[in-house]
Structure 1
Amino acid sequence: MNKALLAVLFSWPLLVYSQEKEPEKTLRSDTVVITGKINIPINAKGQVVATFYIIDYLLAAERTYFSVIDSTGNFHVRFFLRNTQDISWRFDKAQPSRQLLLAPGDSLHIVVDQSGFHFSGANAKASKDIHNMRTPEESTQYYYEREKGLGLEPEEYLKFCKERFDKDAQWVEQYCKERNCSALFLEWYKSNNEVSYFSDLLAFSWKSLNYGLGSTVRLRGERKLKYDSSFWSSMKPSDPAYLLSSRFIFLLNGYSHRYTRESSAPAEAQKLKLSRIAEILNQKVTTESNDADTRKELNLIKEMYRMSEQGEPVDTAMLRVYWKIAERYDTELKTMESRWWIERHAANLTDIADTNIADILLVQFFSNAQEDYNDIDYLYNTVFPKIRNAQYQNIVTAEYTKNKSLQKEVIVDTNGIRFVRVSLNKTGDQLLTQIVKQNPGKHILLDFWATWCSPCRSDFNKMKALKAKLPSDSIAYVYLCCQSTQEDWVKDVKNMDVKGQHWFVSQLQYNDLQKKLKISGFPSYLLIDGNGKIYKGFSLWDEEAFVEKIRGIVRR
């Protein structure tokens, strides 16, 4: 199986992740190229990579790119940017990430030696300014002090944030005067400072739950209206300068919360379900007039609807009966409820006065909701017509087309690695059943992991050595990638060269498996024996115990 076919099957942009330098004519105009050389020792075992983190505000996602650092210290990576913005990077897991400031089409070269970091190429001065802006220790202290304000009452928090905003504005003017900073860095800092200020204010109502306001006295009602009115009109979310800051995504999140978090929505969704059940039961009564049990259930549902309308509490006995009734029509009710939520959420976002922000949030909603709703056609047909910006419409259509192709099952074998992506319409149970069927008579070691999980990567390296100590003929190694993008999944598995079966798990499938198998985090290990019995309690903290436990089960 060649690389080109693998890229097509998994919608994987090969150009972005290739480590080989290709002719410049193949590069898109918005492609950023970063090369570098590390001339200092790195405190790491195994394969060393340079990692770059890009916040995509439009799709509300973080894109991660890796480049293996070769034996001579060189690395090379490419990715696209929608606009000029800050990104983060690091090459040593023991060190915190630092920032760079780049524009679409930039080429940047980084050299790291005993004297520090050296930059050359497009926007090298801006990247140097942002990279050296604060030491890691200063950054930690800065964010720690910001978090302390969450213990204040709303009125005091407003003053606290404004004082910090003014202090930072004064600081950067003096900082740049002393260091002759680039104009781009100064523009970024001012924008980032403003975006951070408003983002913190917007997030206060939910971030403060564990602080001064507690969990029962949330910022709401007249007090919240007064709080919001003190700064809402000062925000300029459509200002192009805001896009320079990766924290713009948090400001958008605050906007979305304001327009879509409705306390009445769950109650209305429940009434909708009661109404639909009543329709179904009423139809049965009409066609099966002698069904006394159905009439009894219909009367109970009608009574629950009345109580819901009046705000009366429903007793436990009624709820037990309701749950049994609802379980019979679970599939239909889930479809109806998900469509209702899609319509409501899209309508709320469309009501935002700033049409540019409304369109951005609709694109974000479509991008994120694809993982939450199987009915992607209904999602697209509801959201697309509400987007007014033609460029954003094209992005949603591209996402829709790509994800429609992901409904198909794909199996690819390459260099001892099997990639399996089942239809996203399948449940977690169906996925697990398929895994067992594809490994008849085998003991199946399941490894649940995620591309953003550092311990998962460490365990991959451990498992490469431990496989030699386990009876390979009777064990199938199955890796289940969860809460990740398919692009990152394929890229990471190929980069780490993890032999075995690799299955991609959608969020809905993971929810099913988490509930069924009681998965508590990543990495998690389970063993299914040849009779379908599931064993738990495995951990690579003690490698010898891990091996002995599996050997014992296999020998039975």
Structure 2
Amino acid sequence: MKNYYLITFFIILFSCSNKEKEEEIVSSGVFYPKVESRSVITGKISNIKNFSNKSKTIRLIVDDITIDKQVKYITTINENGKFLFDIPLSHSTKSFLVYSDGRIAPYIFPNDTLMINCEIIKRESLIGIKATSYDEKHKKFQNNFKKHDNWFYTEVDKFKKNLEKEQSPNNLKIEFLDFEKLLHKKIDSRIKDKQSNKIIYDYLKYSATYSCYENIIKLGRKIEDQKEKKTFYSFLTDSITFNQNALITSEYMYFLNFYSNFVEPRSTISIISTGKSDEQIKKELIAQKIENKLKLRPGIWGDYSVASNIRNTVIEREEEFTASSIDYYLELVKKNIKDNYTRQLLLAMLKKEKLSIIERDNINIPSGSEFQNTSKDLTSNLYDEILQKNKGKVIYMDFWATWCNPCIKQFPYSKKLHSKFESKDVSFVFLCCKSKKEAAENIIKTYQLKGQQYILNQKQYEYFEKQFEIVGFPSYILIDKQGEVYSKNASRPQSENTSITIEKLLNKK
């Protein structure tokens, strides 16, 4: 992979048109959660003073199979260009150190400290970062890793580019399996001293296998006949075992994710609900779901699967939970999760979630920001109602969903934007889509989000989707003081351009 990436990387990274794997942003200086196995990166950007008007933060992105997600840590760069990351890490892996539009990919280890010197580079209008040197302990390894990693992905990209895609899934599968064998031969030839370069050698070998397997699973998704699909995947289902050593490559994590979602058989859950409260039924369902996962995937893979499920259900707020519900999860984790790192991580996350629920329950929605009462039959009339209510004002519309992390990550910036224009003729209208009202209210309370709040039913959403050509969340619309749509693709609250554009519309005659 190259050290320099176009800005489209970030557009893809922060788009949320579907419920895809999201990144968790950890506030600067707070490297949550606290666990025993950690990794430290200290660095310095030598020419930071030449870019004084640029960002003073830097990101570290790490794939963590323990909770089946990419975790993004953010820290500040001080006036001398120094920065520090101190993060939980259970196994060595490639990471991404991201500044502005570019990134580098150091390989990091648990219970280790990596020192890295960097400099900012500029190409045309884009700002990037490159590593200039590593500390003596890691210098040789990091340079070798970069060289071999770049070679590997060049080989994969070249193969995919030359692949004749107008073939049947079975023929393409054969091509990928043949390519896997070829890659292994090339790796064996490339790495002469396998003992001294064991980590890099294993990394390349596992990457070769699981990147091919991941692509084969994607191919199988196109097969509609279930019997044919089962045969197509049989080479996996006959031999799949969890390989903890393969965690050194992200390709293995992605493979497991695809395998779990598209190949592995679904387990059924059944409980007797007669005479039981909703809370009791919910607890029994949770317990059985965890039990089934541990049976289906014994050992550490089961622990990871349970951790992922709890993260999706509780932390990602797919359901609403009370503090007592979190207590029940805490007990289940203590009882069922055997892997120490995974248990520590989950307990820390759940305790943090419990505290946030308690804090949220003790605050109210900001005055005037309660959900607006609208008729369920309102569709186009709702838009007319919004225009009429805000006649003569600039309207900044925010279409969001409770399960969309990129939407929610913008809310602190929305608050700042609202404060800036609070005394001016600007209305902030938040339209929550495809979400439950209770979940939306809790988020509004948590972020103390001021503005006009609406929760759309399906008909209303479909109207706005067509009216403004909405393709995903978050989506932002700007309407001028005359009630005319200025932009169907307005910039996010975080962008300086948003404030500039609103000012421009306010001054428009």
TM over 0.5: yes
Q: 2:156 aligns with which of 117, 129, 142?
A: 142
Residues 92 and 109 in structure 2, CA contact (< 8 A), matched pair in contact too: yes
In the alignment, what sits opposite 2:187?
172
Alpha-carbon contact 2:303-2:338 (below 8 Å) kept: yes
CA contact (8 A) 2:27 2:75 kept: no
Quick one: distance in 2 between partners of 1:511 and 1:382?
37
Question: Which one of the candidate residues 334, 338, 357 is aligned to 1:389?
Answer: 338
CA-CA distance at 1:100 after TM superposition: 1.7
| Matching residue within 342, 351, 354 for 1:404 | 354
1:141–1:184 distance in 2 versus 1, CA, 3 Å:
closer
C-alpha distance in structure 1 between counterparts of 2:291 and 2:164, whole Å: 35
Q: Deviations over 1:165-208 (max 9, x none)?
A: 122222333333499973322222222223323333334323xx
1:183 paired with 2:193, answer: no
Match of 1:78 among 83, 86, 93: 86
Q: Residue 194 in 1 paired to residue 206 in 2?
A: no
Task: Give, in angstroms, the shift of residue 364 of structure 1.
Answer: 0.9
Q: Distance in 1 between matches of 2:154 and 2:174?
A: 22
Preserved contact between residue 49 and residue 66 of structure 1 (Cα < 8 Å): yes
Cα offset for 1:261? 6.0
Q: CA deviation at 1:526?
A: 6.4
Contact 2:46–2:118 (CA under 8 A) maintained in structure 1: yes
Q: CA deviation at 1:551?
A: 6.6
1:103 corresponding residue in structure 2? 109
Contact (CA 8 Å) 2:176, 2:212: kept in 1 or not? yes
Matches of 1:151 and 1:386, distance apart in 2: 51
**1:250 is the counterpart of 2:254:** yes
Per-residue CA distance 1:114-157 (angstroms, 9 max, x = gap): 99632225544332223233559x84773474485775434323
SS of alignment partner, residue 85 of structure 2: strand
Q: Name the % identity.
A: 15
SS state of the match for residue 358, structure 2?
Answer: coil
The yes-or-no answer on 1:88 pairing with 2:88 is no
Q: Partners in 2 of 1:341 and 1:431 — Cα distance?
A: 38
Is the 1:57–1:248 contact (alpha carbons within 8 Å) kept by the matching residues of 2?
Answer: no
Residues 1:433 and 2:370 are matched in the alignment:
yes
Contact 1:52/1:87 (CA < 8 Å) preserved in 2? yes
**Uncovered stretches (5+) of structure 1, i.e. residues with no partner:** 1-9, 18-25, 210-216, 281-330, 412-420, 484-500
How many residue pairs get aligned? The number is: 414
Deviation at 1:535, TM superposition (A): 12
Q: What is the 5 A alignment of 1:292-441? A: 342=286, 345-346=289-290, 348-352=292-296, 354-370=298-314, 371-375=317-321, 377=325, 380=329, 384=333, 387=336, 389=338, 391=340, 392-410=342-360, 433=370
Q: By how many angstroms is 1:68 displaced?
A: 3.9
- 2:59 equivalent in structure 1: 51
Structure with the higher fraction of residues in helix conformation: 1
**Distance change in 2, residues 1:173/1:37 (3 Å):** farther
Q: Deviations over 1:426-474 (max 9, x none)?
A: 9xx99951799xxxx9999565687758x979x969x97x997x57456
- What is the identity, as a one-letter code, of the residue corresponding to 1:84? S
8 A Cα contact 2:233 2:263, kept in partner? no
- Report the more deviating stretch, 160-169 or 394-403: 394-403
Alpha-carbon deviation of 1:360?
1.7
Give 1:391-540 correspondences, 5 Å limit.
Answer: 391=340, 392-410=342-360, 433=370, 472=423, 503=447, 518=464, 520=470, 521-525=472-476, 539-540=490-491
Structure 2 counterpart of 1:60, one-letter code: D
Q: Which stretches in structure 2 are left out of the alignment for 5+ residues?
A: 1-24, 122-129, 374-389, 435-444, 492-496
Q: 1:252 to 1:135 in 2, by over 3 A?
A: closer
* CA deviations over 1:217-256 (Å, ceiling 9, x no partner): 42522x233222223344442x331111123322322342
Sort the Cα spacing of 1:374 and 1:140 in 2 relative to 1 into closer, same or farther, 3 A. Answer: farther
Residues 518-527 or 123-132, more deviating = 518-527
| Root-mean-square deviation (Å) | 5.7
SS at match of 1:79: strand
1:60 — aligned with what? 68
Is the CA contact (8 Å cut-off) linking 2:38 and 2:110 kept in structure 1?
A: yes
CA distance in 2, matches of 1:248, 1:46: 36
Distance 1:538 1:143, change over 3 A: closer
The Cα shift of 1:54 comes to 0.6
1:121 & 1:502 partners in 2: Cα distance?
46
Residue 358 (structure 1) shift: 2.2
Matches within 5 A, 1:182-261: 182-206=197-221, 209=222, 217-218=223-224, 220-221=226-227, 223-237=228-242, 239-257=243-261
Q: Which structure is higher in RCO with an 8 Å CA cutoff and minimum separation 6? A: 2
Deviation at 1:75, TM superposition (A): 3.3
Bigger CA radius of gyration: 1
State the AA in 2 paired with 1:539.
A
Name the amino acid aligned to 1:85: T
Q: CA deviation at 1:66?
A: 2.6
Counterpart CA distance in 2 for 1:48 and 1:514 is 41
Judged with a 3 Å threshold, the aligned counterparts in structure 2 of structure 1 residues 181 and 153 are, in CA distance, closer, same or farther, namely farther
Alignment deviations for residues 519-554 of structure 1 (CA, whole Å, 9 cap, x no partner): 74455346899xxxx9995724797764455578xx
The answer (yes or no) to whether the contact 1:169–1:193 under 8 Å persists in 2 is yes
For normalisation by structure 1, the TM-score amounts to: 0.57
Q: Secondary structure at the match of 1:372?
A: coil
Letter in 2 for 1:253: N
Distance 2:26 2:237 in 1: 40
The amino acid that maps onto 1:402 is K
One-letter amino acid matched to 2:206:
S
For the pair 1:132 / 2:147, whether they are aligned, the reply is yes
- Please tell me whether the aligned partners of residues 39 and 108 of structure 2 are also in contact (alpha carbons under 8 angstroms): no
Measured at CA, do residues 14 and 145 of structure 1 come closer, stay the same or move farther in structure 2, by a change above 3 Å? same
